[in-house]
């Protein structure tokens, strides 16, 4: 693979299918896809946390300053299994999405007490294009990303 990001539905799905194929051909442990934070949270290359720190340096109190920045959503794929973390709302949307993918099954869900969400493992035995389509819909339908979100294949 020579490219690792894409920001249109067709390009992302091709990227994801290529990543799944590369993952399978290499026999790698897993592949990881991450969504870039929404554009409104980025400001001239700085995260909103950096911008909040700059505002707080001027003496302005920021109610959200104590909150940790949200981790961009990610999905891992390994040995015919997707692995992802979801909030309760995202989990509901994931189950609705799975109605469109009857060949995919939830294998496990874990909700540790110290975590604010649920880790979900989904068995997905299908071709690279079907897996890529599902991956893209996870980001748009489950994680509520816009149609022009940028995705990165960060590990193969």
How is the chain split into domains, by residue range?
5-36+72-155
Q: Find out if CATH 3.30.70 is the number for domain 5-36+72-155.
A: yes
* Chain mean pLDDT for the chain: 84
Q: What does the pLDDT read at residue 40?
A: 62
The answer to whether 72 touches 34, Cβ cutoff 8 Å, is yes
Task: Report the pLDDT averaged over residues 94-120.
Answer: 94
Tokens of 141: 């339908």
Residue 24 has pLDDT above 80, yes or no: yes
Q: What does the pLDDT read at residue 112?
A: 86
Q: Read off the pTM.
A: 0.80
Task: Report the pLDDT averaged over residues 74-82.
Answer: 95
Residue 127 has pLDDT above 50, yes or no: yes
Q: Which of 78, 73, 81, 77 is nearest to 141 (CA)?
A: 73
Q: Rounded CA gap, 81 and 83, in Å?
A: 6
Q: Per residue in 36-62, pLDDT tens?
A: 886 665 554 544 444 444 444 444 444
The answer to whether 141 touches 16, Cβ cutoff 8 Å, is no
């Amino acid at each position: 693979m020579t490219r690792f990001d894409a920001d249109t539905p067709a390009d992302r799905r091709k990227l994801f299918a290529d990543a799944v194929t590369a993952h399978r051909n290499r026999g790698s442990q897993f592949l990881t896809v991450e969504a870039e934070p929404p554009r409104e949270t980025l400001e001239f290359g700085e995260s909103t946390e950096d911008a909040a720190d700059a505002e707080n340096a001027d003496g302005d109190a920021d109610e959200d300053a104590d909150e940790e920045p949200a981790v961009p959503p990610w999905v891992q794929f390994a040995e015919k299994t997707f692995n992802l973390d979801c909030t309760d709302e995202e989990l509901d949307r994931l189950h609705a999405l799975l109605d469109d993918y009857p060949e995919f099954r939830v294998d496990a869900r874990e909700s540790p007490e110290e975590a604010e969400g649920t880790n979900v493992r989904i068995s997905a035995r299908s071709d690279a294009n079907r897996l890529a389509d599902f991956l893209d819909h996870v980001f748009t339908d489950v994680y509520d990303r816009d149609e022009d979100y940028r995705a990165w294949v960060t590990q193969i």
